[in-house]
């Protein structure tokens, strides 16, 4: 992610200073309206991604190109009539102030559309505690509940939710109980992988213990 941000910085720095200022402004507007989006370069221009392409923007000699996709253009057709636009792009002249509220509204709309698009492709469930979550695997586990119940201390605090559930299912609650198991036995547990073995091996060593041979 840092590398991609550096590429965006490099792209922006290739323009005259006045244009750089406007490019940074639109970049900040997008970031603030889509806080969970990832910044990258796509088609040679700065792009924000959230469950697929969200918006693109680019610098030109006399304008800033803003690309919110066809549905972003269609939904705000009346509000963008003051600017030159096409099926997927809007041109904001460099000699005029950026329409910050409009850009924020468009990005917010695109975020909502991409989330709805993802939900339509996935199965949305509600856990027993009322948390909605997207089921993307065969494990119907609510990530919010898992985060809340994850131990804040102890050896299980270094493990992910699947590994914790695996140990709980095997009734392993202490490092001493863990030391009575072989690595092969633990890896046979559903949700337990090599990365968990590596973490626990270090913790066992600190306590003068090791996995059963």
Per residue in 129-186, pLDDT (tens digit) is 777 666 554 445 666 677 677 777 888 888 887 888 888 888 998 999 989 999 999 8
Three-point CA angle 39, 42, 43, nearest 5°: 155
Alpha helices in 34-172 (DSSP H): 69-75, 100-121, 143-149, 161-169
Domain ranges of the chain: 2-121, 132-206
Residue 193 pLDDT level (bands cut at 50, 70, 90): confident
Per residue in 91-144, pLDDT (tens digit) is 999 999 999 999 999 999 999 988 887 766 666 667 777 776 665 544 456 666
CA end-to-end distance (rounded Å), the chain: 41
Q: What is the topology classification, in CATH, of domain 2-121? A: 3.90.1150
Question: Residue 90: is its pLDDT beyond 90?
Answer: yes
State the Cα–Cα distance between residues 207 and 205, nearest whole angstrom.
Answer: 5
Answer yes or no: are the C-beta atoms of 68 and 34 closer than 8 Å: no
Q: Is the pTM of this model over 0.85?
A: no
The pLDDT assigned to 115 comes to 83
């Amino acid at each position: 992610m840092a590398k991609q941000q550096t590429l965006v910085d490099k792209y922006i720095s290739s323009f005259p200073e006045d244009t750089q200022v406007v490019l940074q402004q639109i970049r900040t507007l997008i970031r603030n309206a889509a806080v969970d989006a990832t910044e990258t370069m796509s088609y040679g221009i700065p792009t924000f991604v959230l469950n697929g392409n969200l918006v693109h923007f680019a610098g030109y000699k006399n304008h800033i190109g803003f690309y919110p996709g066809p549905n972003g253009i269609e939904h705000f057709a009346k509000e963008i009539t003051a600017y030159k636009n096409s099926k997927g792009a809007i041109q904001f002249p460099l000699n005029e102030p950026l329409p910050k509220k409009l850009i924020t509204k468009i990005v917010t709309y695109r975020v909502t559309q991409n989330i709805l698009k993802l939900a339509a492709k996935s199965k949305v469930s509600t856990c027993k505690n009322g948390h909605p979550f997207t089921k993307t695997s065969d494990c119907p586990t609510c990530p919010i509940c898992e985060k809340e119940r994850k131990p804040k201390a102890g050896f299980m605090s270094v493990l992910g939710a699947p590994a914790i559930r695996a140990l709980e299912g095997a009734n392993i609650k202490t490092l001493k109980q863990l030391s009575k198991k072989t690595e092969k036995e633990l890896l046979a547990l559903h949700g337990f992988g090599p990365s968990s073995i590596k973490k626990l091996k270090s913790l066992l060593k600190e306590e003068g213990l090791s996995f059963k041979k």
